[in-house]
Amino acid sequence: MNRQNAELKLKQIFGFDGFFDDQWTTIDKIFNNKRVLLIQKTGFGKSLTFQFPATQFDGLTIIFSPLIALMRDQIKFLNQNNIKAGLINSEQTDDENNITIQNAINNQLKILYIAPERQENSLWQEAVLKMKISFVVIDEAHCISSWGHDFRPAFRRIINLMQVLPSNIPVLATTATATTDVAQDIQNQISGDIELIRGDLLRENLKLDVIHTENEEDKMAWIARYLKKVNGNGVVYTGTRVSAEILSKWCENEKLNTIYYHAGLDSDSRKIVEKEWMVNKFKAIISTNALGMGIDKPDIRFIIHTQITQSPIHYYQEIGRAGRDGKTAEIFLLFNPKDIDLPLSFINNARPSQQKYQKVIDALKQEPLGERNLIKATNLTQAQIRAIKADLLDQKIIRQVLYNGLKKYEYQYNAPQLDITTFENLRNYRLKEFDKMVEYTNTDKCKMLYLCNYLGDNNSRSCGVCDSCLNEKNKFSMDENDKEKIKQFQNNFFPVLGVGSKKSKQHNNKKYQVKFIGAKFEGRIDNLKITKEIYQQLNHDDKKIVDGLIQKTKKESKLIDGIASSYYGFSNVGKTIYKCKYENGKDYPDFLLKQTLIAFGKTFKSQKFDLVLFVPPTESGKLVENFATKIANTLKLPIFSIIKTRETKQQKIFQNKALKTQNIKDVFDINIDITDESILLIDDIFDSGATITEIGKMLTKRGAKVIVPLVIAKTVGGDIAK
């Protein structure tokens, strides 16, 4: 097909007048059954380079993509243009996926989007044999390379596929972020002739700036000021979940409409936040890099990083989401020299110790195990297991095999020894990349050009609008006013313990949720809060479901969300607790008592309590008892102990929730009558919440009216080292 004819068809099907040159070059190669690696910046129009050919092929085009949200958007667009497209991923129900598969088999789909993890699904493996496949696309192809910044093991399997696919089936791999090394790695892995087409990466509408600060408080002050004056909505990226939460609360304190977001939120909450952010409900969404690829908002007017990223690629990718509508967007990196500690520790501790690898290998030598059972057998965290298994799979020491539809890992006969030199090499490579990122913060070279060059684009020129091009070097220090406000805030902000009993149900595509908040229940239908008026007006079915959920919630637990006085990792709270608990055995000092009472007072001043209970210790003596007694005395409430009916091991040795829950199941009891009593439940540390949730259930059974947890410190994943 020549370009003219193609552009006629393009106009017919998509309504566009023509192709960009690079788009046509790519499409032409695809029609000639070639394999292409296309590296182009965001906004180039990569989608068309595979969507158009897909409409012209006889059979099905399969698109591997990790970006669920983008998949949905693209499919909407395609269906609107009468091109039948479908998708298969974990967010669809099994039924939906099955229908899509059937359609693909019956040649009723032109384009099928699929998440790479699906390759492990037996249903997919059966089905794909029956499909007529004309073209394969790999989106975000940099995920193939372990040298890249976002390596995903599932993408490795795409490589295996590429190696066995007959060479006359065209393949298109696309990405915006691949350095020369990574591009080379991808080319090496996708065997056969693969041509590289690379465009320039200059994003003209992005205005890059580095703001030098001296501490975290400076950053907080700067952000509040900036958000108050900037037009439009944007993203603030933080290094940790805790900082995302704290920063968002600080902004709220400054009367700014922000929300926090991270992987610790349950998926329902995440969906709500994503939806509301897309419609500009918030000035800024403050998030870890969990707010990732695939949130395709065209009008992000600013992106602020409070934490330096691990490499210029990560940075380019994260800021690349700004200004997709072409209008100016401001990009800031707030940098304090101490910030290098966090990324360095990530890089240096990226992998678990060798012994942990051996644990996994030894377990799998005995029997094939799925992920959950592997976690149980080795007592490692899910994160550790995932990192280890990715490496073992990569080195072909283990394989993932389907046993009657269940995924299990097998140790291979004659497997090679674990090769840690690649880990060392990778670590050194990452350290070099990080050096380059630190260099960015200080460079006088055009910042945009610095990033483009790093990513292998040597064709762009200076942007003219970054701080380097404008000859500025921006510093910021907070003033006394800022200092005062921040201090006030830090003394009054308390982390929530989200253990309140809640139940949800999906029915007829509606989502019902009920949460016990103390005196009553709070309900939502499709995230719309059910007030008294709304409840009266509900139809019969809806009422029935809501009432049913209320009964279930009531029955299960009368535990409501509690409060901690601080995050474990904040200031010297964690260190103090650790010393008392595991070193000198002294009672918790007064300052912890004071801040806990303040947190309690501010949060539960309107709640009446009848008594105080405290969580019995496994080992740390009378620390919690003494602490709780002091609180009970201050509040003039009677205090009793919760009893343990059997010995348990310390929760902290169990690295994952499954084992922690198992450790304490049915362990707790009480020997007083607590019918209809409102209870303040005290412990020192809140980690997974398993203990408090279990106690909540038991107290509910014994007749409690409401149970409120109060602790000194809340951890946020991995705070308490083994």
Please name the helix (run of DSSP H) or strand (run of DSSP E) that holds residue 277, with its range, or none: helix 267-278
Among 12, 107, 160, 527, binds another protein (CB under 8 A): 160
Closest of 385, 400, 378, 332 to residue 160, by C-alpha: 400
Query: Is residue 372 a contact point for another protein (CB under 8 A)?
Result: no
Which window, 75-83, 154-162, 228-236, 589-597, contacts another protein (CB under 8 A)?
A: 154-162
Checking phi first, is residue 140 left (phi over 0); if not, alpha (psi -120 to 50) or beta? left
Among 12, 106, 163, 345, binds another protein (CB under 8 A): 163
CB of 122 to another protein, least distance (A): 9
CB of 413 to another protein, least distance (A): 5
Among 94, 355, 413, 481, binds another protein (CB under 8 A): 413
Among 1, 99, 383, 402, binds another protein (CB under 8 A): 402
Query: Is residue 403 a contact point for another protein (CB under 8 A)?
Result: yes
Query: Is residue 166 a contact point for another protein (CB under 8 A)?
Result: yes
CB of 157 to another protein, least distance (A): 6
Query: Is residue 165 a contact point for another protein (CB under 8 A)?
Result: yes
Site string for another protein, 51-80 (x = CB under 8 A): --------x---------------------
Query: Is residue 181 a contact point for another protein (CB under 8 A)?
Result: no
CB of 508 to another protein, least distance (A): 36
Helix, coil or strand: residue 484 = helix
Residues 594 and 630 sit within 8 Å (Cβ to Cβ): no
Distance of CA 302 to the CA centre of its chain: 21
Letter string b/e over residues 674-708, b meaning 16 or more CB atoms within 10 A of that residue's CB: beebbbbbbbbbbbbbbbbbbbbbbbbeeebbbbb
The sign of the CA dihedral 83, 88, 90, 93 is positive
CB of 60 to another protein, least distance (A): 9
Among 78, 87, 161, 202, binds another protein (CB under 8 A): 161
Among 275, 365, 575, 622, binds another protein (CB under 8 A): 365
Residue 650: burial class (beta carbons within 10 Å; 0-12, 13-18, 19+): exposed
CB of 61 to another protein, least distance (A): 11
Among 4, 82, 164, 509, binds another protein (CB under 8 A): 164
CB of 128 to another protein, least distance (A): 4
Q: How many helices (DSSP H) and strands (DSSP E) are in the chain? A: 26, 28
Our CB check for another protein shows the closer of 410 and 587 to be 410
Please report, as residue ranges, which positions from 99 to 138 form the binding site for another protein (by CB under 8 A).
119, 125-126, 128-134
Query: Is residue 507 a contact point for another protein (CB under 8 A)?
Result: no
Query: Is residue 5 a contact point for another protein (CB under 8 A)?
Result: no
Contacts of 131 (CB under 8 A, 6+ apart): 59, 60, 62, 104, 105, 112
Checking phi first, is residue 557 left (phi over 0); if not, alpha (psi -120 to 50) or beta? beta
Query: Is residue 188 a contact point for another protein (CB under 8 A)?
Result: no
Residue 86: burial class (beta carbons within 10 Å; 0-12, 13-18, 19+): buried
CB of 360 to another protein, least distance (A): 14
Query: Is residue 417 a contact point for another protein (CB under 8 A)?
Result: no
Both ends of the chain: CA-CA distance in Å? 63
Query: Is residue 481 a contact point for another protein (CB under 8 A)?
Result: no
Which window, 255-263, 393-401, 554-562, 681-689, contacts another protein (CB under 8 A)?
A: 393-401
CB of 403 to another protein, least distance (A): 4
Our CB check for another protein shows the closer of 397 and 615 to be 397
**Cα 438 to Cα 176, 421, 427, distances in angstroms:** 22, 26, 17
Per-residue tokens: 90: 């974990």
Task: Enumerate the β-bridge partners of residue 399.
Answer: 410
Q: Looking at this protein, which amino acid is placed at residue 197?
A: I
**Binding residues for another protein (CB under 8 A):** 59, 119, 125-126, 128-134, 157, 160-161, 163-169, 192, 365-368, 399-404, 410-414
